[in-house]
Amino acid sequence: MGYYDDHSPATQQQKKSRRFMMPTLIGIVLGAVLILLALPALVQTNLLPYSITTPNEENEATDNEGTGISSEKVEVDVNTQITEVVEEVTPSVVGVVNLQSQSNFWDEQNGSEEEAGVGSGVIYKKEGGEAYVVTNNHVINGASEIEVVLSDETRVPAELIGGDVFSDLAVLKMSDEHVTKVADIGSSENLKVGEPAIAIGNPLGLQFAGSVTKGIISGKQRAIPQDFNNDGQEDWQAEVIQTDAAINPGNSGGALINVEGQLIGINSMKVAQSSVEGIGFAIPIDSALPLIEELEQDGQVSRAFIGIEAYGLNEVPTSEWENTLNLPDDVEGGLYIRSVSQMSPASKAGLEQLDVITELDGEPVEDIIDLRKYLYEEKDPGEELEVTYYRDGEPNQTTLTLDTQE
């Protein structure tokens, strides 16, 4: 038996070739790496007869030929019309602090004044060393003292001249020593849905004083029901401007302005539901101005008064329309009288309990809101009012002279 021996001359030659091949490959790799590292430096010294273009430079080159993505430099001027308007208007928007007496447990005579709430306001007038601020009535409701906080954080004591629950407006008076700006009054009559609107105020308190939100006019003459005594029944319907500019608690009483910097509304309320966003409301300035002037002069808004407690027939079971009120079938709505105040215009005109009012000056009325809107917006104290009513199923008419609501 023999063994195979691979030590032939040809096999030994192949092994020598492999020993020399490995160092050669390593040298080639190292040389390539050195060349790649040194190449950019050689190009910068112009020692090579060609140039290298990076991908970014290539894109810029193709851009110049109109075939790539634009890489033009864009200069942005942040000093736009809106920023200029906001800068101009902001000093006329203030914080309104409602201070209420808090009795001391040990000594009720030495109670302290504590902050009960914070809202916003707008300085609309300077005259005779005094400045006048309009805000929401609910902002200062129950206040024993009021402070106005200017845009530079100066605090000024203010006096309540008058407030009105139905319009949710109140007027304050203070020293004009530190007042530098009065709002430019615009008009809400010709507002267009879709035009820009800017809200300025103090959402969530003075820590966010002078906050600015921008949106559009979302709607005009929106009717929003109001329940003043929290009995679940509507007492009034406020006609307001709707905007999607963010309005939050603390914005109440602040300014809604247009792009010209003119005051077009007094921010008043917001639909506060988790499922609702971008719906805020403001009192139109054209509706607010006559009331502001009346509050400034008289301390209250004088409204016509007839002296009845009344409810809409829609609040009465239909079975009672015939059984108790004796109404004919052709009466489809109206206002039944629950009580009549003594010596009131209604009492003097002969109106009685369970009478059903259907028309005022020939205009149909359905509920208490219809009655109030007609009296407050169409009539003045001292004027006559023709009332059409049913008693025991028979139609009647009477004329009364309106008095002033106390």
Q: What are the residue numbers of the active site?
A: 138, 168, 252
204 backbone φψ class: left, alpha, beta (φ>0; ψ -120 to 50): left
For 167, counting Cβ atoms within 10 Å of its Cβ (0-12 exposed, 13-18 middle, 19+ buried), the class is: buried
Q: What count of Cα atoms within 13 Å lies in the side-chain half-sphere of residue 199?
A: 34
Pairwise CA distance, residues 132 & 172, whole Å: 6
Tell me the sheet residues that pair with 339.
309
Closest of 374, 366, 370, 375 to residue 405, by C-alpha: 375
For 343, counting Cβ atoms within 10 Å of its Cβ (0-12 exposed, 13-18 middle, 19+ buried), the class is: exposed
Is residue 236 within 8 A of residue 137, CB to CB? The reply is: no
Q: How would you write 81-144 as a 3-class SS string?
A: HHHHHHHHHHHHEEEEEEEEEECCCCCHHHCEEEEEEEEEEEEEEEECCEEEEEECHHHHCCCC
Residues near 83 by beta carbon (within 8 Å), at least 6 away in sequence: none
